Amino acid sequence: MSTIEETIVPAATTEETRAEVIEQRSRNLTGIVRDVWLPYLGTRIVLVLIGIMADFYLLPVMKSNPIEPSVPLNTQFPQLLWLMWRRFDAGFYIDIAEHGYWAASTLNTASNWIFHPLYPLLIFPFGYLFGGSDAAFDIGAVLVSNVAGLIAITYLYLLVRREFNSQIAARTIFYLALFPTSFYLSAAFSESVFLACAVMCIYYARQHRWWLAGICGGLGSLARIQGLALLIPVIWEYWQVLSEQYAPLPDMQHMTGVEKGRAWLYSRTSGLLVAAKGFRNWLHLVALSLIPLGLVPFFIYSQIQTGDFLASIHNHSVGWDRQVSNPVRLVLSSIIHPLAPNAMEWNFWALNMVMIFVFIGFTIWAFRSLPIIYALYTFVMMVMPLSTGSIKSISRYYLIIFPAFMLLALWSSRGKSVERNFSIVSLFAPVMAICMVFFVLGLPLIA
């Protein structure tokens, strides 16, 4: 009898445990659908409606300009549903997916070699799956962007929920979805693909799953040049984990500032020295080296096709007039030489300058309020575009700085939470709508 009971009871317990696990997973999935996917998709529907109205009511009355979208093409169903997302650089990505990179002779011009290959590679199979036509590649590009956007916000929700709670996570997603240039996550641009790679890289780094972090970071480098900067916050996180494992910090509650500094320095140096004796730690370091090495296949391909291993890097300066420069000098120069409002200028000066100072503030705030890995991510992603000698497209480049939305979610959840949330939404939503109209109309200032 006892034998029968011993056999039955564990089985029942196991069944109960399985039921609990299934129920928990169901609740998690329901929460993600309710708090993440539905609000995000709701903003995408609004953007489509804004795009349709801009195509039908504003585009036809604009004066003819060779760079503006074609009115006949963009006012017909169903083409307008994907053509509204094909503006500016989108054509380069889709052309790479459809026809490949241009000849080496174009490297001295504004060549498509400046664009990294991950996004076009993802478009390629869908383009041929849908028939191989120009429209098929357009649809494939929009599909890839939106699926990548859903992956990005899902991982971001899981990451923020892990750090704080589900309420903060849900608000983070909502603010990202309403950010003035968030429509680029649905456009035929690589922003959503890079954001997905970056968030997954940080997510796995926080879980100390270094190989997955390295792979995701390497894919990020293959998506955009900013992916190289992912190495800085991830290496910091790895250093802190190793140091805490081999030489944990003592209780510093009653220490002076100087004593705390000495204890931290001792832990981080001695811990690293002890960790260096472990072979597994070196393997993890190899895993993280995949972040910059993600670009190597592209460089090898560049060498084969053009004879220039760094064709993409060189084309930044030669063809696109972007070279490494002092970011402080650029900001000061941009302040001293403002641009007058001009819809056909490839620089939305007012919006870009506001974004620069807002995200400088976010960077300082992140170092004060978030784990350092997020602050370092914010810093490098804020500084890197400013180090190219131009503030063009800054408002788009800063879209991927997700810790900023974490900070806003934290701020709006404290004190007068209703009023704070309303102030953010009432600022973001109308500006996003206006920017979406500019984008659909093909006005270069929002490129």
Encode pLDDT of 285-326 as tens digits.
999 999 999 999 999 999 999 999 999 999 998 989 898 999
Whether the CA torsion 143, 149, 152, 156 is positive or negative: it is negative
Chain centre distance of CA 334: 25
Judged by average pLDDT, the poorest of 59-68, 204-213, 372-381 is 59-68
The answer on pLDDT for 26 being more than 90 is no
Question: How far is it, in rounded angstroms, from Cα 131 to Cα 312?
Answer: 30
In 3-state terms, what secondary structure has residue 424? helix
Query: Tens digit of pLDDT for each residue in 274-283?
Result: 999 999 999 9
Average pLDDT of span 414-419: 87
Q: How many CB atoms lie within 10 A of CB 310?
A: 13
pLDDT band of residue 9 (cuts 50, 70, 90) is very low
Q: What percent of the chain has pLDDT over 70?
A: 96
Q: Where are the domains of the chain?
A: 2-189+295-446
Q: In which band, very low, low, confident or very high, does the pLDDT at 2 lie, cut at 50, 70 and 90?
A: very low
Q: Are 214 and 291 in contact (CB under 8 A)?
A: yes
The pLDDT value given to residue 153:
97
Tell me how far the alpha carbon of residue 71 is from its chain's centroid: 32
Q: What is the pLDDT of residue 72?
A: 87
Sign, Cα dihedral of 236, 241, 246, 249: positive
pTM for the model stands at: 0.92
pLDDT at residue 4 is higher than 50 = no
> Mean pLDDT across the stretch 202-226?
98
Residue type, 168: I
Pair 159, 166: CB distance under 8 Å: no
H or E stretch covering 310: none
| Mean pLDDT of the chain, nearest integer | 92
Query: Model confidence at 427, in pLDDT bands (50, 70, 90)?
Result: very high
pLDDT at res. 416: 83
DSSP 8-state secondary structure symbol assigned to residue 35 = I
pLDDT in tens, 78-129: 999 999 999 999 999 999 999 999 999 999 999 999 999 999 999 999 999 9
Where is pLDDT greater, at 260 or 425? 425
User: What pLDDT score was predicted for residue 293?
Assistant: 95
The dihedral region occupied by 64, where left means phi > 0, alpha psi between -120 and 50, and beta the remainder, is: beta
Q: Assign 5 a pLDDT band (cuts: 50, 70, 90).
A: very low
Q: What is the mean pLDDT of residues 26-42?
A: 87
pLDDT band at 27 (very low <50, low <70, confident <90, very high): confident
Convert the pLDDT of each residue in 123-177 to its tens digit.
Answer: 999 999 999 999 999 999 999 999 999 999 999 999 999 999 999 999 999 999 9
Asked if 375 and 366 count as a contact pair (C-beta separation under 8 A), the reply is: yes
**Sign, CA torsion 115/121/126/132:** positive
Query: In this predicted structure, what is the pLDDT of residue 259?
Result: 87
Structure tokens at 51: 């795009």
- The answer to whether the CB of 411 falls within 8 A of the CB of 420 is yes
Sign of CA dihedral 154, 230, 396, 296: negative
Q: For residue 238, give the nearest of 269, 208, 271, 200 by alpha carbon.
A: 208
- pLDDT of 1 reads 42
Torsion of CA 167, 171, 174, 179, to 10 degrees: -170
Residue 341 confidence (pLDDT) above 60: yes
- Whole-angstrom distance, CA of residue 445 vs CA of residue 181: 12
Handedness of CA 271, 272, 277, 282 (dihedral sign): positive
In the chain, % of residues over pLDDT 90: 80
The pLDDT of residue 13: 59
CA atoms of 34 and 27, how far apart (whole Å) = 10
Residue 345 scores a pLDDT above 50: yes
What is the distance between the alpha carbons of residues 98 and 186, in angstroms, rounded to a whole number? 20
- Dist. CA 71–CA 79, nearest whole Å: 12
Nearest to 389 by CA among 341, 439, 321: 321
pLDDT of residue 6: 42
pLDDT of the residue at 35: 86
* pLDDT (average), residues 181-193: 97
- How do residues 216-269 score in pLDDT, each as one tens digit? 999 999 999 999 999 999 999 999 999 999 999 888 888 888 988 999 999 999
Tokens coding 257? 């500032």
